[in-house]
Structure 1
Amino acid sequence: MRKFNIYFDIETIPTQSKQLKTHIQNNLTPPSNYKKQEAIDAWIEEHKDIVYRKTALNGGFGQIVCIGYAINDENVRVIYFDDWASSEKQILQSFFNDLIERYRPSSDITPHFIGHNIENFDLRFIYQRAIVLDVIPPAFLPLNNKSYNNMYIFDSMTEWAGKRNYASLNEVCLALGIEPKSDDIDGSKVWDLVREGKIKQVADYCAADVEKVRLIHKRMTFQNAS
C-alpha cells in the first residue's frame, strides 16, 4: 500500500491576548504555606512571567507562529509570516489548504502524520487552535486523535519510549547517531527569539526538527536497513 507521509512540527508562543494574560496573572495562587502578604506578593511577582510563558503549551491560550512539514521525501516547507502576532489563522489555513490540495482520499493511499510528541501536543494544539480561530481542518487530519485509529499517527516519542514515558527528540537522535539539535535554540527560547524579530531563525529551527523526525521515522521503520 502506498503512503502519504506528512512529517511535521509546530512552534508556539504564549497568548497574545492582553485580556487572557491579565486574567492568568491576576489569578495566581501561591502555595498554602505562604502566609505573610509580603511573601505572597513576592511569590506572585516572581511567577507572573513563568505562568504567562506556560500558555505557549496550552492550545486554548497559546499561538502557533510556524508550521514546518514535508510530504514523503520532498523538501521541508515552513509556513510563517513576519507579522507573526496576527498571522496564526493564515498559517493554519495555508497548512490545511496545501494538505487538501496535495492529498486525495484513496483506498490505496493512507495518510500518515508523523512527528515527535504529536499525539499529545502538536495535533492537540492544532485541533484547539482550529476551533478557537474557526478554521475548518481537512476531514482526514486526525486532530482529535483519540477518536482515530493510531494507524494515521506515527509519534516517534511514543514509538521509542512507550505510551506513558517521555523521550526528547535530542535523546532519540543521540541514540540513533543522528546529529542532535543545536544548543543555540530550543523550545524554551522560541518566544524570546520571536520578540527579538528572529522569526526566520525559529522557522529554520522548526524545519530542522522536521528533517530529524523524517530520519528517525525511516530508522524506526527500517526503511534503509540492509
Structure 2
Amino acid sequence: MTHKINIFFDIETIPTQSTTIKEHVQSTLTPPSNYKKPEVIEAWIEENKDAAYRKAALNGGYGQIVCIAYAVNDEPVSVIYSDNWAGDEKSILIRFFDDIKTQYKPSADITPAFIGHNLENFDLRFIYQRAIVLGVKPPSFLPLNNKSYNNIHIYDTMTEWAGKRNYVSLNEICIALGIPPKNDEIDGSKVWDFVQAGKIKRVAEYCADDVEKVRAIYKRMNFITEAQ
C-alpha cells in the first residue's frame, strides 16, 4: 500500500548581496518620460533606487533565498536557515533538496505533492532560478516550470481559491476560513529589514508559521478538517 506524501513549503527572500547586480538594478532605473531636467532625473533616481533594490527580492535572478520552511504531511515544520545568511544560500538549497529526496520512494512509485501559497508563480520559479544561478541540480521530481492546473503534483492555495491569474493573500483566506491570521509585526515586505537587523530567527519563525497556515488552509479546502 502506498501513502500520499504532501510537502507544504514556503520560502523567504531578500535582495541580492552582489554589488554588481545591485549597481545594475539601480543604474537602469527609468524616470517618468516627462522628467527632462538632469537635476530632476537625478533626484528621482536617488529617491527610488533603494525601492528598486528591495524589489530584487522578488526576482530569482537578482534575489536570494534566506529561509525555507517545509512540513511533510502532519509532521512538525522544519526550517532551514543560517545566521550567516549572506553566504549560505547554496547550502540552504542543497539541504532542502536533500531533505525532500528522503521523502521520495521510487520503489513505492510515490511522487510528493508540493503545496504552498503562490508557489507556482513565485516559490517554485524562484527556487528554479536560484538552482540554475548557484549550480545546484534540483531533484527530478520537484515540479519546476509547471502550473498547478495541469500538474497533479502542485497544489497552489492561491490558484485554488482565486482562480488562474487572480490574486488573494494568505491572510485573506485565513480570515475567510476562521484561521488565525498573521500579525502585523512582519510580512514579506519587511523580511529584508528584519534580516539586516539581525533577526533572521524571527524570519524563520514567520516562514514556519506560513507553512502551518497553508497546511490548515489545504485541509479546509479539501474537507479534511471541518469549519469551526
- Bin of the TM-score, shorter chain as denominator length: over 0.9
Q: How many pairs are equivalent? A: 226
Tell me the amino acid that sits aligned with residue 168 of structure 2. Answer: A
Give the superposition deviation at 1:108. 5.2
Contact 1:142 1:148 (C-alpha < 8 Å) held by counterparts: no
Tell me the amino acid that sits aligned with residue 199 of structure 2. Answer: K
Give the superposition deviation at 1:101. 1.7
Partner of 1:120: 121
Give the superposition deviation at 1:110. 3.8
The 2-side partners of 1:65 and 1:166 are apart by: 24
The 2-side partners of 1:146 and 1:135 are apart by: 22
Residue 160 (structure 1) aligned with residue 143 (structure 2): no
Contact 1:89 1:135 (C-alpha < 8 Å) held by counterparts: yes
Unaligned stretches of 5+ residues in structure 1: none
Tell me the amino acid that sits aligned with residue 192 of structure 2. Answer: W
Contact 2:111 2:141 (C-alpha < 8 Å) held by counterparts: no
Partner of 1:2: 3
The 2-side partners of 1:105 and 1:131 are apart by: 25
Partner of 1:65: 66
Deviation track 1:84-112 (CA, whole Å, cap 9, x = no partner) reads: 00000000000000111222135653411
Tell me the amino acid that sits aligned with residue 164 of structure 2. Answer: K
Partner of 2:55: 54
Q: Residue 148 and residue 96 in structure 1: after superposition, are their counterparts in 2 closer, same or farther (change >3 A)?
A: farther
The 2-side partners of 1:126 and 1:54 are apart by: 17
Tell me the amino acid that sits aligned with residue 6 of structure 1. Answer: I
Partner of 1:133: 134
Contact 2:158 2:170 (C-alpha < 8 Å) held by counterparts: yes
The 1-side partners of 2:226 and 2:106 are apart by: 30
Contact 1:60 1:129 (C-alpha < 8 Å) held by counterparts: yes
Partner of 2:24: 23
Give the superposition deviation at 1:38. 1.6
Deviation track 1:88-141 (CA, whole Å, cap 9, x = no partner) reads: 000000000011122213565341100000000000000000000000111100
Unaligned stretches of 5+ residues in structure 2: none
Residue 142 (structure 1) aligned with residue 148 (structure 2): no
The 1-side partners of 2:102 and 2:225 are apart by: 29
The 2-side partners of 1:122 and 1:55 are apart by: 14
Tell me the amino acid that sits aligned with residue 21 of structure 1. Answer: K
Give runs of aligned pairs for residues 1-226 of structure 1, distance below 5 A: 2-106=3-107, 109-146=110-147, 149-225=150-226
Contact 2:147 2:154 (C-alpha < 8 Å) held by counterparts: no
Tell me the amino acid that sits aligned with residue 82 of structure 1. Answer: D
The 1-side partners of 2:115 and 2:21 are apart by: 32
Q: Residue 24 and residue 169 in structure 1: after superposition, are their counterparts in 2 closer, same or farther (change >3 A)?
A: same
Contact 2:162 2:168 (C-alpha < 8 Å) held by counterparts: yes
Please state whether the residue corresponding to 1:97 is helix, strand or coil: helix
Q: Could you state the TM-score of these two structures normalised by the residue count of structure 2? A: 0.95
Which ranges of 4 or more aligned residues in structure 1 deviate by more than 6 Å? none
Q: Residue 69 and residue 178 in structure 1: after superposition, are their counterparts in 2 closer, same or farther (change >3 A)?
A: same
Please state whether the residue corresponding to 1:2 is helix, strand or coil: coil
The 1-side partners of 2:199 and 2:148 are apart by: 37
Deviates most, 84-93 or 142-151: 142-151
Indicate the percent of aligned positions where both proteins have the same amino acid. Answer: 71
